[in-house]
Chains A and B, each alone.
Chain A
């Protein structure tokens, strides 16, 4: 059987249509933002590419953000699309160092949706808003034909007052900064997937959806000079850290063994063939703080229930080219790349 034909196995293909992966938080989504949206809507506030825009009006510093929510199932272990829609926007404001004040909510409802489901979702939104201390002050409703929506789509926008004394953003990340995460990773994405795949566990894995202003306020209140905050939603820890490393042109070095992942999430990820570092969270964030303040920052975070599991996972290095590098559990080093599209379950 010697002398096979060494033909080349694949033609080049371009993408001329939107794929699901364009919304996955990975490289494809970034290309879409750069090539379509940024080129169309040039604006300095937009080009900062933070979780929200920071604006100044008559000396008052405000943060402004918007997000849309499409999730199936609408109700999942630990939350509903309603909690997500409130917490997600609250958290984007918190990541700008802003106390969330006002939200809008736009609903796109599918014909035939049971009103009871909508009530359950709005009740969850009311509770989430109360917990986050934010007021829902304006809204909109549209109904689309059956089959043209997925039950409920929600868009929320939010305004917050910036309380951080200095600007918070990737540009302030500096060599030597400590990298902290606010708790164990992967629970939200695994909770959703396990419902979709019909997986059952001894104790169900609950979504981590939660408002994050309280732990951010705790950091600011403890006098921590917070350099950068990012919530770990689509694309998980890997996407967030790669964005920051690229934006700042530095290396972020992580210790795999220090990254908290709960045992049930680890187990589910093994079964589903997923990497928890790429799985979405809805109540977790990463914080970059000066190295000498790392311990104090961790203490402040751990006093708040939602960030009681905070941990230091790495350090920023003055190296190039920009990358996220991880020291594996067994002691080897490798790159932790951004995903191209979505994580897809694998064969074996």
Chain B
């Protein structure tokens, strides 16, 4: 398959790995931001190809993992209101709230549906005018344009039975939060290619300069990631700290202007709590005043229930790259995909899930 096979090619991977080995003279810790990249690294066994000097740590780029438990609880409460059709991307369904997950709510009779696009939820609202259709808008900059478009279309069609439960988060404030932590040991970043396809990478230039850290916009295939690591290592070894673009087949510096416009039309930045991390200023999106009537959180006021957290879970540390999943005492013992203590164990972009499914066994290395 074109645009896939050439980026999973064994010879290309071996060539890049050899270049990295040649270039490295000292230990470097590099963080890949996106959970999709984490999964490629584990699924392809990329760490086997890298020299011992390179440590890859996994970042907070799993939108499902960082969605606060209060919001999951609210989603479950709304889904359980009779007459509501609650739509979500598949990833979100297994994440347990304080009481239960959306999947468990579905088993108890809630009408929870998996959709591939928020526009499918808009179509459902058109098809079921007597019912309330709510879409759980989870994601980074990548999914924001389609979610904004759904609201914009609903407004244009005068659809009053459609609303959005907004849980949008933004990457650059999260990188800044990680860099400004005194415990930070990350020396270079692989920035998320799909987020930058939409948002561009101008904002990252300020971060690279201010924190003296190389940031390489990187794709998601094994060869992309190895090339991203090579570019980051080259900068580190040469003492440079710039933004470079490995994912040139998709990303332009200014991003996708049209997509940015629709996001700006519908959303505005807001402070946002990240599950396991805490509140990061201006790290999320909320609906603008003009579109506030499509906000499911105000349309369906639900009482905040007291939330219970499992004390053993170190998801907050994992999401900041301070610990790796196997360092958690609960990992694969008390925390498994069937009995998760933290969201990273059940999301398809979660670091704990990646280690559990692909890397749990010594014999694999």
Chain A residues in contact with chain B, CB under 8 A? 1-15, 17-21, 27-28, 31, 197, 251, 257, 263, 266-267, 270, 272-273, 319, 321, 323, 325, 327-337, 340-341, 344-348
Q: Please determine whether A10 and B349 come into contact, CB atoms closer than 8 angstroms.
A: no
Query: Contact mask B134-155 → A, CB, 8 Å, 1/0?
Result: 0000111011000000000000
Residue B277 CB within 8 A of the other chain: yes
Q: Please determine whether A331 and B10 come into contact, CB atoms closer than 8 angstroms.
A: yes
Q: Please determine whether A321 and B361 come into contact, CB atoms closer than 8 angstroms.
A: yes
Q: Write the chain B residue with the least CB distance to A338.
A: B357
Complex Cα gap A128–B346 (Å) = 40
Q: Please determine whether A330 and B44 come into contact, CB atoms closer than 8 angstroms.
A: yes
Residue B89 CB within 8 A of the other chain: yes
Q: List the A side residues contacting B309 at CB < 8 Å.
A: 7-11
Q: Please determine whether B316 and A347 come into contact, CB atoms closer than 8 angstroms.
A: no
Complex Cα gap A74–B4 (Å) = 33
Q: Please determine whether A10 and B358 come into contact, CB atoms closer than 8 angstroms.
A: no
Chain B residues in contact with chain A, CB under 8 A? 1, 4, 8-10, 13-14, 36, 42-49, 63-65, 69, 89-96, 98-101, 103-104, 106-108, 114, 116, 138-140, 142-143, 176-177, 180-182, 194, 222-223, 226, 274-278, 280-281, 307-317, 320, 334, 336-343, 346, 348-349, 356-361, 363-365
- Min CB distance B49 to A, Å, is 6
Complex Cα gap A344–B101 (Å) = 14
- Min CB distance A282 to B, Å, is 23
Not counting A4-B320, A11-B308, A337-B357, a sample of 10 additional A-B residue pairs whose C-beta atoms are within 8 angstroms of each other reads A4-B181, A4-B277, A5-B278, A6-B277, A6-B314, A8-B314, A9-B315, A10-B310, A330-B9, A334-B42
Q: Write the chain A residue with the least CB distance to B280.
A: A1
Q: Write the chain B residue with the least CB distance to A264.
A: B1
8 contacts between A and B (CB under 8 A): A2-B182, A9-B313, A13-B96, A15-B338, A273-B348, A325-B363, A330-B45, A337-B357
Complex Cα gap A6–B89 (Å) = 27
Complex Cα gap A332–B309 (Å) = 36
- Min CB distance A255 to B, Å, is 11
Q: List the B side residues contacting A1 at CB < 8 Å.
A: 176-177, 180-181, 280-281
Q: Please determine whether A197 and B8 come into contact, CB atoms closer than 8 angstroms.
A: no
Q: Please determine whether A346 and B340 come into contact, CB atoms closer than 8 angstroms.
A: no
Contact among B43, B181, B315, B361 for A323, CB-based, below 8 A: B361
Complex Cα gap A335–B107 (Å) = 31
Complex Cα gap A114–B147 (Å) = 39
Q: Please determine whether B222 and A17 come into contact, CB atoms closer than 8 angstroms.
A: no
Q: Please determine whether A19 and B107 come into contact, CB atoms closer than 8 angstroms.
A: yes
Given A10-B309, A330-B44, A337:B356 Cβ within 8 A: yes
- Min CB distance A177 to B, Å, is 17
Q: Please determine whether B222 and A18 come into contact, CB atoms closer than 8 angstroms.
A: no
